[in-house]
Chains A and B, each alone.
Chain A
Amino acid sequence: MTQPASPAGAADAPVPGGPPPPAPAGRKEAPATTRRPLGLRADVRNLSLLAVLAVLVAVGGFTRPEQFLDTANLQLVLTQASVIGVVTVGMTFVITSGGIDLSVGAIVALASVWATTLATQEYGFAGILFTAVVVGLGCGLVNGLLIAYGGMVPFIATLAMLASARGLALQITEGRTQIVTVDAVLDLGVPDAYVLGIPPLVLVFAAVTAVGWLLLNRTVFGRRTVAVGGNPEAARLAGIDVRRQRLYLYLLSGLCCGIAAFLLIVLAGSGQNTNGNLYELDAIAAAIIGGTLLSGGRGTITGSVLGVLVFTTITNIFALNNLQSDVQQIAKGAIIVAAVLVQHRTARGATEH
């Protein structure tokens, strides 16, 4: 066979008409090319969601100027977005990793009733907060172990958790509404507790969002989440412990559910086994219209939060205009379709290759 005959440097030797030789390593950095395709795409999606939100604000302001455009309404919309918003942040991580968590609503229900039993209320504020968070983490741990180490499909494992957590919540309450009598908890939900006009619930939501954003975009944990979702086999072969990462992700989702359950207790002043009804669908919908890929590998906290705000604003505008729930549901479905269509169009225009 032919043996190497030309010098090793052949590849680098400049050839007339050939590509320019690469810059030698160690030379001063060329002016940074600041094209960031991924960021660009996320921006486009967020921009289109912002546009949707702007249209909604215009509609709200036009139809009900006095009620829609005031501080109290802004506080209201953000407060109503807080509980589902926190759940959606956790869900965004799970979906980004290629998973799904159908049990979020049920975990919120279980955590909120467990944290509001008479026995728990004996321990006051700390007892309620602790119980809500630990129950959320516990459910997330079970989900994570079943999926990461038990080899169960996320859809099935979390569906099972949905059923059993709802069942346990019902067993604890026996269908009763558990009214909270701990003043320290109740006081968090009234205007006296607002910090510079911002409800504490909204502050928690903002904090969870900020931490979530940093975690996803600036940490090893976030990078691994994206890697596991984008290509689990490549992540495994690159030396990432994919199973442990999955366990942590469901724990994170459970933690978010626990926090959300506490917020819901503050908001509603009670715990009930019907809490968190269909949160799983709302959270998934918000994450998807926000631009997180259902198949995993790409996630955006900003988009998810915008998605939640779009939904909450729609509900608000409809309620202010006294439209009934049938119309609300139809419109919500239509807006999901429209938002996703608009995004597809703009995203395709910007990134088609």
Chain B
Amino acid sequence: MSGITKSFPGVRALDGVDLDVLAGEVHCLLGQNGAGKSTLIKVLAGAHQPDGGAITWRGDQVRLKSPMAAMRLGIATIYQELDLVRGLSVAENVFLGHEPTAAGFVVRGRTARTATAALLRRLGHPEIDPGRPVGELSAAQAQIVSMARALSHDVRLIVMDEPSAALDPDETDNLFRIVADLTADGVAVVYISHRLEEIRRIGDRVTVLKDGRAVAGGLPAKSTPTRDVVALMTGRDVAYVFPPRPPLPPRGQPALTVQGLTRRGEFEPLDLEVRAGEIVGLAGLVGSGRSEILETVYGARKADAGTVRVAGRALRPGSVRAAVRAGLGLAPEERKAQGLLMLESVTSNVSVSALSRYARAGWIDRSAERAAARAATRELSLRPDNPDARIRTLSGGNQQKAVLARWLLRGCRVLLLDEPTRGVDVGARAELYAVIRRLADDGLAVLLVSSEVPEVLGLADRVLVLREGRVVHTAPARELDEHRVLDLVMEGSPATKGSPVWEGSPTP
């Protein structure tokens, strides 16, 4: 690809991007949200038509008029939001759009199932039944099905958009093995990830995008220092910066007190306390009950037993409204699905929980609402500084800030954060961490859940380690390190192959 340009009204998403991918290599694409990665791969997949530039495929200039045209050439794309039909079976999904047929229209189900089973074996997941509906599969299994779908074409180039986002370390290892197999067969892979250590492990070369331009192309993936890569992406010199903790643990009143909270099958009786000004982290693997605990504290799930108190007052169980009224606020895990009104403006999203404060007898004072929303978003340095911008045009980090601003505006005492940096790029994370710490310093109690152990360790004052719905260890964060936590969460499960989940960023 050379000189690719793509403009949308008001935005120049791609500005003369060059990208060359060799057969049999893993070419990594790096860049912050909004840098143009998604647009570039959509052009490659035939989903967007470039305004300028040329695509050369095995020596010939081609036009990718539609996703079908791209597939016919052997270009397959695995999107970040899995594009599978939940009601159809695995085999039906794999062959969706190119079903093996008899007499031109009768679908030959058995052929499809056999071929699917073969693909799944090749991908190291023979346990997935080709006849099962995709809706019953786990996120990781669905990822495998997506991959099988890509491989069901005679594929020469696979584009993977953050394939490891929903995977556990074991599953990520399996993914890397598959990628290695593919490249050994001469298939080229374009790999997009936020996780630098992944790129180090499997990448051959790296292209870095920033603001719709390729700021560096074809860097050696293994030997380029992390620091240089981050500098290229952010234009900044720092990688992963956590704000300093206060020297002593906060001694305020307990803002949130949880006693004996239970949901059968999800987590066992839980006691915890978060003081004003304190950040408490919950660390654990996928499936350890982290998110379930947060949602139960919030009343979005009804507890089987136990109490939740905010500033000493017990909440009615199973009522989000009671929780919100008492001063709880949740930034949910699935920001787009659970947190945001994607069609609406920043203002609407920020003011939604505090609307009645800007209304008299039901009438909204729109200028007061807008001013308040703007003040709250400015306090969090949300960009663009435009309360009328539509929320879906914002980057992940700024969307998250909008969710935080909502609770800031509402004036809550306890903030529940579920994976606050999911889908947020490296540069913006540091800023979010600083914001969260600042909120705590201003007297909020924060309960944090993250699947990234360094994040919990770096941000929280105190950490609860969870395994299979049970707290196995509680300690101040400064007394723990990543290996200790991993040992705790993995205890009893098959030993890990020693691959670090996160590569520590270098000390500046």
B12 at the interface (CB under 8 A from A): no
Q: Is A63 an interface residue (CB 8 A)?
A: no
Is B243 a contact partner of A231 (Cβ separation < 8 A)?
no
Given contacts A3-B242, A11-B430, A25-B378, contact A223 B507 (CB under 8 A): no
Contact B339 A4 (CB under 8 A): no
Q: A3-B242, A351-B9 are in contact. Are A17 and B235 (CB under 8 A)?
A: yes
From B356, B386, B507, A220 is in contact (CB under 8 Å) with B356
Contact with A along B291-332 (1 / 0, CB 8 A): 000000010100000000000000000001101110000101
Cβ of A235 and Cβ of B381 under 8 Å apart?
no
Given A230-B344, A239-B320, verify A22-B378 contact (CB < 8 Å).
yes
A234 and B359 contacting across the interface, CB-CB below 8 Å: no
Give chain B residues whose Cβ lies under 8 Å from the Cβ of A12: 381, 431, 434
Q: Which residue of B lies closest to A239 (CB)?
A: B324
List of A residues within 8 angstroms of B353 by Cβ: 238-240
Q: Report the minimal beta-carbon distance from B417 to chain A, rounded to whole angstroms.
A: 13
Q: Please name all residues of chain A whose beta carbon is closer than 8 Å to the beta carbon of B438 when the two chains form the complex.
A: 8
The contact string, 1 if C-beta is below 8 Å from chain A, for chain B 369-397, is 00000110011011101101110110000
B362 beta carbon closer than 8 Å to chain A: yes
A8 to B353, CA, bound (A): 29
B454 interface residue (CB < 8 Å to A)? yes
CB distance from A30 to the nearest CB of B (A): 7
Min distance, Cβ B13 to any Cβ of chain A, angstroms: 9
Q: Is the CB of B343 within 8 A of A1?
A: no
- Is A187 located at the chain interface by the 8 A CB criterion? no
**Quick one: which of B332-364 are within 8 Å of A by CB?**
332, 337-345, 348, 351-353, 355-356, 359, 362-364
Q: With an 8 A cutoff between CB atoms, is A333 at the interface? A: no
Binary contact readout B460-501 vs A (1 if CB under 8 angstroms, 0 otherwise): 000000000000000000100110000000000000000000
Q: Are A234 and B242 in contact (CB under 8 A)?
A: no
Contact check, A227 vs B341: say whether CB atoms are below 8 A apart: yes
Q: Which of B237, B245, B355 contacts A224 (CB 8 A)?
A: B355
A38 to chain B, nearest CB (A): 6
Q: Could you name 15 residue pairs across A and B whose Cβ atoms are closer than 8 Å?
A: A1-B482, A11-B241, A15-B236, A22-B381, A35-B389, A37-B390, A218-B364, A223-B351, A227-B344, A230-B344, A233-B338, A234-B337, A237-B339, A353-B392, A353-B393
How far, in angstroms, from A298 to B341 measured CA to CA in the complex?
11
**Shortest 7 CB-CB contacts between residues of A and residues of B:** A239-B324, A11-B431, A4-B242, A17-B235, A22-B381, A25-B378, A8-B243
A183, CB-defined interface residue at 8 Å: no
Once the chains bind, are A35 and B337 in contact (CB under 8 Å)? no
Contacts of A1 in B (CB 8 A): 454, 457-458, 481-482, 504
Which of these, B235, B244, B345, contacts A18 with CB under 8 Å?
B235
B388 touches A37 (CB 8 A): yes
Min distance, Cβ A192 to any Cβ of chain B, angstroms: 37
| B8 adjacent to chain A (CB < 8 Å) | yes
Instruction: Give Cα distance in the complex from A31 to B438, angstroms.
Output: 28
Does chain A have a CB within 8 A of B505? yes
Does chain B have a CB within 8 A of A330? no
- Interface check B194, CB cutoff 8 A: no
Query: Which A residues from 266 to 313 make CB contacts under 8 A with B?
Result: 293, 297-298
Of the residues A5, A22, A24, A235, contact of B507 by C-beta under 8 Å: A5
A324 close to B (CB within 8 Å): no
Q: A10-B434, A241-B321 are in contact. Are A25 and B355 (CB under 8 A)?
A: no
Q: Measured between alpha carbons, how far is A6 from B343 in the docked complex, in Å?
A: 38
Q: Report the separation of the CA atoms of residues A320 and B237 in the bound assembly, to the nearest whole angstrom.
A: 75
Docked Cα-Cα span, A7 to B390, in Å, equals 33
CB atoms of A33 and B236 under 8 A apart? no
Q: Whole-angstrom distance from the CB of B420 to the nearest CB of chain A?
A: 15
**A322 near B: Cβ within 8 Å?**
no
| A8 near B507: Cβ-Cβ < 8 Å | no
Q: Does B406 contact A (CB under 8 A)?
A: yes
Interface string of A25-63 (1 = CB under 8 A from B): 110011001111110000000000000000000000000
What residue of chain B has the Cβ atom nearest to residue A8's Cβ? B243
B104 part of interface (Cβ distance < 8 Å):
no
A231 to B339, alpha carbons, bound, how many Å? 8
B362 contacts A219, C-beta separation under 8 Å: yes
User: Which among B245, B348, B363, B379 is the interface contact of A25 at CB below 8 angstroms?
Assistant: B379
> Is B238 engaged at the interface, CB distance under 8 Å to the other chain?
yes
| Contact residues in A for B342 (Cβ distance below 8 Å) | 230-231
Docked pose: A24 CA to B508 CA in angstroms: 27
Closest chain B residue, CB of each to CB of A37 = B390
Contact B374 A223 (CB under 8 A): no
Residue of B nearest to A24 (CB): B378
Cross-chain contact A15 with B320 (CB below 8 angstroms): no
Q: Which residues of A are interface residues toward B (Cβ below 8 A)? A: 1-12, 15-19, 22-26, 29-30, 33-38, 218-221, 223-224, 226-227, 230-231, 233-241, 293, 297-298, 349-353
The reply to whether the CB of B89 lies closer than 8 angstroms to some CB of chain A is no
- Which interface residue of A4, A30, A241, A353 has the most chain B CB atoms within 10 A? A4
Q: A23-B385, A30-B385, A236-B320 are in contact. Are A223 and B338 (CB under 8 A)?
A: no
Contact of A298 among B343, B352, B366 (CB under 8 A): B343
Q: Which of B341, B378, B390 is packed against the most chain A CB atoms within 10 Å?
A: B341
B413 contacts chain A at the CB level, 8 A cutoff: no
For the complex, give the distance between the alpha carbons of A31 and B431 in Å. Answer: 26
Residues on B with C-beta less than 8 A from A218 are 363-364, 366
For residue B496, give the distance in angstroms from its CB to the closest CB of chain A: 17
Given that A10-B434, A237-B320, A297-B343 are known contacts, is A231 also in contact with B337, CB under 8 Å in the complex? yes
Residue of B nearest to A12 (CB): B381
With a cutoff of 8 Å between Cβ atoms, the chain A residues found around residue B332 in the complex are 234, 237
Asked if residues A220 and B362 are in contact (CB atoms below 8 Å), the reply is yes
With CB as the reference atom, state the residue of chain B lying closest to A242.
Answer: B320
Shortest C-beta distance, A223 to chain B (Å), equals 6
- On chain B, the residues within 8 Å of A350 by CB distance are 9
Distance of A226 Cα from B347 Cα, bound (Å): 14
Taking A2-B505, A22-B385 as contacts, is the C-beta distance between A239 and B321 under 8 angstroms? yes
Contacts of B141 in A (CB 8 A): none
Task: For chain B, residues 379 to 437, give those with C-beta under 8 angstroms from any C-beta of chain A.
Answer: 379, 381-383, 385-386, 388-390, 392-393, 406, 410, 430-431, 434, 437
On whether A220 and B9 interact (CB within 8 A), knowing A15-B237, A38-B390, A236-B320, the answer reads no
CA A92 – CA B476 in complex, angstroms? Answer: 54
Nearest CB in chain A: distance from B286 CB, A: 20
Which residue of chain A lies nearest to B345 when distances are taken between CB atoms in the complex?
Answer: A38
Cα–Cα distance between A231 and B343 once the two chains are bound (Å):
9
B300's partner among A9, A221, A236, A240 (CB-CB below 8 A) is A236
Q: How far is the CB of A214 from chain B (nearest CB, A)?
A: 8
B267 at the interface (CB under 8 A from A): no
Chain A residues with CB below 8 A from B434, complex form: 8-12
Give min CB distance, A215 to chain B, whole Å: 8
Q: What's the Cα separation between A53 and B298 when bound, in Å? A: 50
Tell yes or no: B11 within 8 A of A by CB: yes
CA distance A106 to B237 in the complex (A): 68
Taking CB atoms, residues of chain A closer than 8 Å to B95 are none
Nearest residue (CB) in B for A6 is B241
B352 pairs with A353, CB closer than 8 A: no
User: In the bound complex, do residue A18 and residue B504 qualify as a contact, i.e. CB atoms below 8 Å apart?
Assistant: no
- What are the residues of chain A within 8 A of B406 when measuring CB–CB? 238
